Every structure is written in structure tokens, then in C-alpha cells.
Chains A and B, each alone.
Chain A
Amino acid sequence: MNALKAIILRELQEHKWGFVYLPWIVATFMSLVVVLVYLGLTEVNTENFKFSTEIYSDPDVAQAMKESTLEQRSGAIRAGLLVLGAPLVIALGFAILAFSLSTFFDERKDKSIIFWRSLPVSDTFTVLSKLLVATIIAPLLVVPPLLVLHLISVMVGSIFFVVADIVPFFWAWEAYPFFDWIRVILSLWMQSLWTLPIITWIMLTGAYSRKPVIGAILPPVVISLSEQVAFSSSTFFDAVMQRVQPWSRSEAFPIEYEGLRVAEIADIPLLFSLNEFWIGIAVSIIFIALTIYFRSRSDYSSVE
């Protein structure tokens, strides 16, 4: 347990920019956006989402807000916060990508692998600990800044509603889905498992390749092109692309999502029922085993 704690701490110290600072920076930026929007200085417009104070000037909107049920309010707030939190989740994705790419490559490049391997920590334990950091710990670290972003958004929104005399201060607070945090964390962990073949593939290339970026990209590109040329199909490419999408919105997922409906906890058993999911896990296990194998072969000659 001490060893696991020590490894996790070391990884977070080494990758503090990606896993610790970046989520807070993005959350601060998004909080600022929220404040600017409510001050009427800017607005957010996406395909499915419009975030602007302009809509509140419509008396019908104000009326609808007053008459809304708790459930309706909760749904709207959840959807809004989901969009505001999306940049944090995207930043997390990039942080995990950078971590996976560098974690086994940098220790070979700076030769510190011989130092790490001179201590009584097995390669299997090291690889699994790093995987734990990428898939479980890193998503958890996004939760505090995400929570702060949510609270700031609801607070600024509530103040705006009172000042603009639309609804009372606690209108949004009453409907704020506090227990939604369990769903958020579980959903992020499901995403880790869904994307696991990509994470483990990238880790593997870091463990054996001299040029991990090329090593990570080239084989999938070659396989995709070969399949296209030989069979005029894109099964492999589509399978890879599905893994970078949100798990509940990939084509493999049985439920079609419209608009801003978020994945529910009840969707998780559906994910586990997919053959694609378990194929991904099986492929990941092979990549993990290969990563352990390559790391265990490191000696002086492999770093000189």
C-alpha cells in the first residue's frame, strides 16, 4: 500500500501540469467565462447550447422558469453544467494522452529507469500503478475543479436571477443535482475503460519505441489503409474512432442520444453488456502484458 501511494504521488509530482494544474486552469477560465456571460459581456453558442443573458429578456422564458418543476430545473442545470465542464474533460483527455505517451518513454530517455528498477518495485506493479493513475486517479482529480466550476456557475447564475428579478436566489440551488457527482465520476471511469485500448496502446509504444509518437500513430494508420485497399472497408478505423468518442455516444452503444441528454448510471450495465467493450478490455490486457514485458527487459544497453 505504501509502495502504491509512493508511485501515485511520484506520478502526480511528475505530471502535475497535466493532472493538477491544467484542470484548475481550465476551470478558472470557464468560471471567468460564466462571470462574463452573466455580466452580459460575452456569450457561448454551440450547436446544442446557447448560454447568454439575452434569453432571459424574453418574458416567456422568465415565466417558464418560474413555473418549472424541480425535475425540469435539474435537467436544465445538469445539461448546462455538462457543457461548461466539457473543456475540463477534454483537457483531461489530453493530459492522459500526454501521460500515456511519456510515462514509459521519458524514463528510458533520461535513463532513470535503471534507478527505478534498482528499487524493489516489480515491473508489473509499476505498469499497473501507472495505469491506475491514468484511468482512475486522473479522472478523480478533475472532480474538485469541476465542482468549483459548477458551484461558481450556480452562484453567479443565482445572483444574476435575483438582480434581474427573474426567480428567487434558491431557484437553482434547490435543483442542483448534488448526487450527480457519483454519476460524473462513474461516467469518467467508464470512459477510461472504454478508451483503455488506446491508452494501453500508447503506453506500450512508449515502452518499446524510440519514437513513440510515430510508433503510436503509424501502425493504426497502416492497418486502416491496408484494410481500405484490400477490402474497401474501414472496420478497424471505425473501431478506433469509436474509442475516442464519449462511451455512451459511440455507435456501439445501444441507446441513441439526442441533444444534451447525459449518460445515466443505468447506462453502465448496458456498456458492460457490449461485446465491443470486452474485446477492448481483452486487447488492453495484451497491450499491458507487452508493456510489462518490454519494461522488464530494460538494462544498461537499452538506455545507453
Chain B
Amino acid sequence: MSNRKQVIRARNIQKKYSGQSALSGFDLEVYQGQIMGLIGPNGAGKSTFLQAVLGLVETTGELEVLGLSPKRDRHELLKRASSITDVAVMPRWMTVGQVLKYVEGVHPRFDMNKARKILSNTNIQKDSRVRTLSRGMVVQLHLSLVMAIDAELLVLDEPTLGLDLAYRKEFYSQLIEDYFDGNKTIIISTHQVEEIEGVLSDVVFLNKGKAIMKESIDSLNTRYLELRPKAEFLEKAKSLKPIYTRTELSRPVYLYEDTEIQKLETFGEVHPPAIADLFLAIMNKTNQSEEGS
């Protein structure tokens, strides 16, 4: 990754809200071309970090986004970084055409023709007021705007919250097929982990304001494996010290870290774990080691 351009560099980022830590020494490096997923429970600090990246909140520590200080150079940064969040509500009184016109006026990298073309493939009418659109359509409009901006970094904070399944699928497929070109960088946080795991190139797991694991998806798929052992190999599988055990249809499923696939395959069916399961395993492991120390 070192030959690729660094897009985000965060070192020892700290943020407290009324005495409570939202981020406590968070480190992260994001490089051009990555689609980085921020995975963590509520209150883990995902939103706070993404707000810091966009210069919305002030944090301590070192934070550089596209070589700029998000708080100090916010205006310059926003020309190069776009965002969609469930908190950012489009003005309900505006028509779609008025929103497009406004963004065209204020954003030097917005391509009106591209936005119109993207919108022509949807049910969204230019004269419709935002208030008359469904939540899914509003997100679709926001995505169309963002896709028409030639940004280097896209920050997505729970972008599909509250959308039904069809819209969520459509959102991510459009994002990857029509927007992402390998030169752009996306950082995304969502609760619906299972929907983005096929999209991500890298993940960072957050808990209590800290990164508890950072890996590329490729590396995850080789380092972590799940085994559904056959009944007769249960004890042998256990002896290989899985880091996490869950139950599926009353049968145990073991998750291993840095264990050879060949060894596991003799005991049953092996495949890479789902990110959600891996997250629970890593969180469990971290909690245990914290309790131990």
C-alpha cells in the first residue's frame, strides 16, 4: 500500500463528549483505491471519526485528510471529499431541479449532465419536491449528486439507514458499478454489515473508541476461517483452539485465527467467516485479553 497515495492519516485521535470518550486513541490509515468499512457497535466512535474526517468535530491527535487538516482547511477539503449520512437531510422544500442547480453553483467539481443522466435512470422527477419523495428516493437523489461530483474521497455514514432491502442493494451496486473506479477512496460505516462485506476492500473494527483490528478483506479471508465440524471431530476441532464459538442450527461453528486450512478441512466444512461473526469474535477476544491483563 505504501506506493499508493495516503488519503486519511489518523494518529491517536481522541474525542470526549461531556466527559465521555467517543474516540480514545484511534489510529487509521486509508489509501487511495480502498473501500474501508468501519465496523462497530453503537457508540464505538464510528460517526465521531467520520465527522472528524469531514471537519465537523474537533479532535485531538493528528488527523490529515487528502493532505489537509479537516477543521482548518474544511472548505478546501469539501471540494475534494463528498459525504452521505443519514443525519444530513435534504431540504424538503426544494425541488430536485433546484437542488441540482444549487450544487452546480457551489461545487466546482459537480457535473450537471452526469447528474441528469444518473437521475434519468430513476423514478425521480426534476420538478418533484424533496418532501414528496420516499426516503429511498431521497437517498438515491443524494447518491446521484455525489456520483456526479468528481471527489477523491467519499464518506458514507449509515447511508442506507431506514431503507428497504431493494434500495439498499441498489445503492451499493450503483456505488460500485457506476461510481468506484479504483482511483477513488470510500470510507463507510453501517450497521448492515452483511450488505457491504462484498463491497469492502478493508475493514477496521472499532470498540469503545479504539481500533481493535485492521485488515484487508483478502488477508481476513486467509487468516480467519470458520469450521462446521462433523460430529465425530468436535473434540479434535476444539483442541485447535478456536477464538470464537457460535451455534448454528444447534451445531457449533468454530472460528480460527492463523490456522492452516488443510488442518481444518479434515474435520469438516471450512469457509471464511462473515464479517459480523468475525467482529463478534475479535471483540470477544479483545474483551478477554483486557480482562486477563
Contact = CB atoms under 8 A, between A and B. Distances in A.
A46 interface: no
A119 B85 contact: no
A6 B106 contact: yes
Contacts, number: 81
Contacts of B221: none
B114 interface: no
Nearest to B103: A119
A232 interface: no
A2 B102 CA distance: 9
B105 interface: yes
Interface string A83-115: 000000000000000000000000100111011
A14 interface: yes
Given A6-B104, A13-B98, A118 B89 contact: no
B90 A112 contact: yes
B198 to A, nearest CB: 27
A263 B74 CA distance: 46
Nearest to A111: B89
Query: Which bucket holds chain A's interface residue count?
Result: 20 to 34
B108 interface: yes
A301 B87 CA distance: 9
B233 interface: no
Contacts of B101: 6, 9
A121 interface: yes
A304 B103 CA distance: 24
Contact of A114 (B74, B89, B107, B108): B89
A5 interface: yes
Interface stretch (B5-13, B75-83, B181-189, B274-282): B75-83
A148 interface: no
A304 B157 CA distance: 15
A69 B93 CA distance: 54
Contact of B105 (A5, A111, A112): A5
Contacts of A110: 89, 91-92
B288 to A, nearest CB: 33
B94 interface: yes
Nearest to B82: A118
A65 B145 CA distance: 65
Interface of B: 17, 47, 51, 54, 56-57, 74-76, 78-79, 82-83, 85, 87-94, 98, 101-108
Interface of A: 2-3, 5-7, 9-10, 13-14, 107, 110-112, 114-122, 298-301, 303-304
